Amino acid sequence: MSRLNFTAESLDLVKKLAELGQTKTSIDPTIKALIEIRASQMNGCTFCVDMHVKEAKIHGERELRLHHVAVWRESKLFTDKERAALEWTELVTRLAPGGISDQDYERALTHLSKKELSDLTFMIGTINVWNRINVAFHGVPGTLDKMYGLEKAGLN
């Protein structure tokens, strides 16, 4: 059960965060879905994992790749660019005490342009905010399926 309806309590802030998340970027929608799922897994946000897996399925993502997101390092199902985005997602989501190393930054730039890396970092920050809000207030998975048409994924 949800602790409170944060949308009702902070509607203007929810609208601004939703607007940020819907802003067109240089990041391919497939990569966006992967990083939203991975950050949500790392943050233990069941609400967001549920939502983004369903969105990815509706947009044609293969089920096996969805299952492999949690083990992307060992999987052969992801491109070098997707792997770079997933690695950057992990680095930004769980910041190390010393921050992100120059070596990690340079490795990301071997597969992503500076524009893509910048846009990706904003996307990671945005999903992390959603994760924290839903974890804090116990967002209930599936409660927005009808509003967002997520029942079309056939995963309920």
User: What was the pLDDT predicted at 18?
Assistant: 95
- Residue percentage of the chain with pLDDT more than 70: 100
Helix ranges (H only) for the chain are 6-9, 11-21, 29-42, 46-58, 63-68, 80-93, 102-109, 114-136, 145-148
| Helix orientation angle between 46-58 and 114-136, rounded to the nearest 10 degrees | 130
pLDDT at 118 > cutoff 90: yes
User: What was the pLDDT predicted at 156?
Assistant: 73
Of 90-94, 138-142, 145-149, highest mean pLDDT = 90-94
Tokens standing for residue 117: 């890396």
**Nearest partner of 124 among 33, 36, 17, 64, judged by Cα:** 36
User: What was the pLDDT predicted at 1?
Assistant: 82
pTM: 0.94
Residue found under tokens 């998340």: 21
How is the chain split into domains, by residue range? 28-153
Superfamily of domain 28-153: AhpD-like (1.20.1290.10)
| Residue 112 per-residue DSSP state | S
- What is the pLDDT confidence band of residue 154, given thresholds at 50, 70 and 90? confident
pLDDT in tens, 59-112: 999 999 999 999 999 999 999 999 999 999 999 999 999 999 999 999 999 999
pLDDT in tens, 40-58: 999 999 999 999 999 999 9
| Cα dist from 91 to 65, 104, 137, 143, whole Å | 21, 8, 25, 30
User: What was the pLDDT predicted at 23?
Assistant: 95
Tokens standing for residue 131: 């994760």
Cβ pair 51, 140 in contact under 8 A: no
**Nearest partner of 72 among 110, 31, 104, judged by Cα:** 31
Cβ pair 135, 100 in contact under 8 A: no
